[in-house]
A and B are shown apart, each in its own frame.
Chain A
Amino acid sequence: MTTPADTTPLPKQPPMRFAARWSRAWDSDLSWNFRHSPVAVAAAVTAVLFMTLALLAPWIAPQNAFDPGAVNLDDGFLRPMEKGAKGMTHVFGTDSQGRDLLSAILYGSRVSLLVGFASVGFSMALGVTLGLIAGFVGGRIDALIMRIADIQLSFPAILIALLVFGVGRGLIHPTQHERMAVMVLIIAIGLSHWAQYARTVRGATLVEKSKEYVQAARVMGRSPAAIMREHVLPNVLGPVLVIATINLALAVIEEATLSFLGVGVPPTQASLGTLIRIGQQFLFSGERWILFFPAAALIILALAINLLGDWLRDALNPRLK
């Protein structure tokens, strides 16, 4: 958090103020608004339930979907609710390899959410930092950062992610491709979304910069880095939260899209997108459940996060009150 040299003028004050502000916001408007919006509650419950199940996949899934040894080829193409050779009931059926689809979806959601959260965290850290610097420092640095953001924002995120992914693969030795795939994917998706954070944070920083508390901190001799981190940052995080929620849905969909295109995670770590890619092959031969369940899981997850983000945006938008 803070280095000792930084905290001498204002011992422990900023973290407390931040926490207090948080709980005040939580106790009042936002939480009231949340409790009175059935859509938001339903979306939140769905999203949290989904995330918990995915997180607990290794303990609750009937089968280890990433372990080729746990899968029995004789169990291939079992319909939903059919029993396998070992007497296991496959609630969602199995795929061509005899992999239990419920387990595959639980493990796959785990990969999807891992990539989603990590890439949102990465783009948020990068975008907020650059936005703070651009807004606070101004001048040429500001112009440079925002110019890059402008150019990037005029291209669709999926294109940027594909390019970064391709370049990343070019930089990494082919034997490492599988091992590094998730990492490269996180960076690719993260890099395709930072500009929005940067733009929002820069705008908010420009407003905050001229306020009295920032001038006071300046007068007290705090370093620009400390002012940005401890004084300005907490005050510009509101809109960042909204973007992050909406971007989580976008990142999950982007990961699914890349994996569906065959450039995302390898089949050994199948995410929801990979499962849909596999399932699509059996659309014409009648084994629809192989496609249907992963697709439904992705839709439910994305829709829940999206609705939550929409609600949050409206709830935090002062113009709609």
Chain B
Amino acid sequence: MIAYILKSVAQAVLVLLVVSALAFSMFRFLGDPVANLVGQEATQADRRELAERLGLNDPIPLQFGRFVADVATGEFGMSYRHGRKVSALIVEKLPATVELAVLSALFATSFGIVFGVYTAIRRNSWSAHAIMMISLVGVSLPTFLIGIGLIYLFAVELRWLPSFGRGETVKLGWWSTGLLTSSGRQSLIMPVLTLGFFQLTLIMRLVRAQMLETLRTDYVKFARARGLSENRVNFRHALRNTLVPVITIAGLQLGAVIAFAIITESVFQWPGLGALFVQAVQFVDIPVMAAYLLFVAVVFVVVNLIVDLTYVALDPRLKSSTPVSVGGK
């Protein structure tokens, strides 16, 4: 048990180290950090002096060590494009992305489970077939087209919802939230639908497949034979046993949601981290790219770790075996 936890943590740390090495080499070897900081007319001596001051002449392992230490304290340097501290940019954009991602994950999980159970229990009804069909088409559609389609329907034709931005936000300390104003809540609807849709279909299909499998097992047949009501069999016996793997997958998907937020945020001009990252890629703003890479890696690793550990708590068979999900195995 302890060995298992240690192994999971060690793997997480290893992944983070690899990713920070990647981020560091982007930082250090892509473009010239000095040229990006000094003006055009800086002399050779100025440049040398700055390179010395930034520690660029030190041995590479020492520089890497310093980079990791900086990153651990939340220091990523200055954005080339915005001329501001990357850490300040991230703190400013973080709430928008987190609100969007968490709400999308909640939307996808709850509706995914409901639809999955429904299509499994009534698997021959026309409505179940219709839901499956829509999900199939939906999976083939690129996320950004779903977003544009929603904008067309709800913002251009019906004029019900705003098509871009977060609406009015309220400051709670350093956190800005759109949940407390009506325009903020309205602005959230379409981005949440867009971002959550793909995960919804994924979770729905998973729940459906698991439910169908569980409904065929002996203990469900036996429960029926005992004369238990249909609802009791479906929800108390079948659904419960379906949910363990579903919660795992849903947890792992939270990381994917944050990454897919890149597209959704660009479609809806949502002022979050994803949009910041896309701009950084366009303008080769290396510090922002490196910081975003690390941010996503941390989210993924932490989510993976939590899922790994809850899995142990939920499934006693795993207490003696090897880690399951770091790296998505």
**B142 contact set on A, CB distance < 8 A:** 253, 256-257, 260, 298, 302
Q: How far is the CA of A293 from the CA of B151 in the complex (A)?
A: 17
Task: Return B196 CB to nearest CB of chain A, in Å.
Answer: 15
Q: How far is the CA of A299 from the CA of B277 in the complex (A)?
A: 26
Q: Is A49 an interface residue (CB 8 A)?
A: no
Partner of B284, one of A156, A159, A170: A170
**B286 contact set on A, CB distance < 8 A:** 170
B280 touches A166 (CB 8 A): yes
B16-38 CB contact bits vs A (8 Å, 1 = yes)? 00100000001000110000000
**A154 contact set on B, CB distance < 8 A:** 252, 255, 300, 304, 326-328
Q: Is B201 an interface residue (CB 8 A)?
A: no
Which residues of B from 245 to 261 have beta carbons under 8 Å from A?
Answer: 252, 255-256, 259-260
Task: Return B289 CB to nearest CB of chain A, in Å.
Answer: 5
Q: Is B281 an interface residue (CB 8 A)?
A: yes
Count of A interface residues, CB-CB < 8 Å: 37
Q: How far is the CA of A283 from the CA of B148 in the complex (A)?
A: 9
Closest to A163 in B: B293
A284 touches B156 (CB 8 A): yes
Task: Return A265 CB to nearest CB of chain B, in Å.
Answer: 13
**B140 contact set on A, CB distance < 8 A:** 249, 299, 302-303, 306
B281 touches A166 (CB 8 A): yes
Q: Is A314 an interface residue (CB 8 A)?
A: no
Q: Is A276 an interface residue (CB 8 A)?
A: yes
Judged by DSSP, the binding face of A is: helix
**B148 contact set on A, CB distance < 8 A:** 276, 280, 283, 291, 295
B293 touches A171 (CB 8 A): no
**B289 contact set on A, CB distance < 8 A:** 163, 166-167
Given known pairs A150-B329, A283-B152, the reply for A169 and B15 (CB within 8 Å) is no
Q: Is B44 an interface residue (CB 8 A)?
A: no
B122-151 CB contact bits vs A (8 Å, 1 = yes)? 000000000000000101111111001001
Q: How far is the CA of A170 from the CA of B282 in the complex (A)?
A: 10
Count of B interface residues, CB-CB < 8 Å: 42
Given known pairs A154-B327, A155-B300, A170-B31, the reply for A262 and B278 (CB within 8 Å) is yes
Which residues of A from 246 to 260 have beta carbons under 8 Å from B?
Answer: 249, 253, 256-257, 260
B266 touches A261 (CB 8 A): yes
Q: Is B263 an interface residue (CB 8 A)?
A: yes
A146-162 CB contact bits vs B (8 Å, 1 = yes)? 01001101111011001
Which residues of A from 278 to 321 have beta carbons under 8 Å from B?
Answer: 280, 283-284, 288, 291, 295, 298-299, 302-303, 306
Count of chain A to chain B residue pairs whose CB atoms are closer than 8 Å in the complex: 102
B328 touches A156 (CB 8 A): no
Q: Is B296 an interface residue (CB 8 A)?
A: yes
Q: Is B262 an interface residue (CB 8 A)?
A: yes
Which residues of B from 181 to 229 have beta carbons under 8 Å from A?
Answer: none
A162 touches B277 (CB 8 A): yes
B260 touches A156 (CB 8 A): yes
B145 touches A162 (CB 8 A): no
Q: Is A206 an interface residue (CB 8 A)?
A: no
Task: Return A315 CB to nearest CB of chain B, in Å.
Answer: 17
**A276 contact set on B, CB distance < 8 A:** 144-145, 148
Task: Return B40 CB to nearest CB of chain A, in Å.
Answer: 15
Given known pairs A153-B328, A154-B300, A261-B266, the reply for A162 and B156 (CB within 8 Å) is no
Which residues of A from 121 to 176 have beta carbons under 8 Å from B?
Answer: 147, 150-151, 153-156, 158-159, 162-163, 165-167, 169-171
Closest to A156 in B: B259
A169 touches B260 (CB 8 A): no
Task: Return A191 CB to nearest CB of chain B, in Å.
Answer: 13
**B327 contact set on A, CB distance < 8 A:** 147, 150-151, 153-154
Q: How far is the CA of A167 from the CA of B142 in the complex (A)?
A: 24
**By CB atoms of chain B within 10 A, which of A165, A291, A299 has the most?**
A299
Q: How far is the CA of A170 from the CA of B139 in the complex (A)?
A: 33
**B278 contact set on A, CB distance < 8 A:** 162, 261-263
B259 touches A158 (CB 8 A): yes
Q: How far is the CA of A7 from the CA of B304 in the complex (A)?
A: 49
Task: Return A148 CB to nearest CB of chain B, in Å.
Answer: 9
Partner of A261, one of B31, B145, B263: B263
Q: How far is the CA of A298 from the CA of B260 in the complex (A)?
A: 20
Task: Return B229 CB to nearest CB of chain A, in Å.
Answer: 34
Task: Return A17 CB to nearest CB of chain B, in Å.
Answer: 35
A158 touches B262 (CB 8 A): yes
Task: Return B246 CB to nearest CB of chain A, in Å.
Answer: 18
B30 touches A167 (CB 8 A): yes
B15 touches A151 (CB 8 A): yes
**B255 contact set on A, CB distance < 8 A:** 154-155
B280 touches A261 (CB 8 A): no
30 contacts between A and B (CB under 8 A): A151-B15, A153-B328, A154-B252, A154-B304, A156-B259, A158-B262, A162-B281, A165-B281, A166-B281, A167-B26, A167-B289, A169-B281, A170-B31, A171-B30, A257-B142, A257-B263, A260-B142, A261-B263, A262-B266, A276-B145, A283-B148, A283-B151, A291-B148, A298-B142, A298-B145, A299-B140, A302-B141, A303-B137, A306-B139, A306-B140
3 closest Cβ pairs, A-B complex: A150-B327, A170-B30, A166-B281
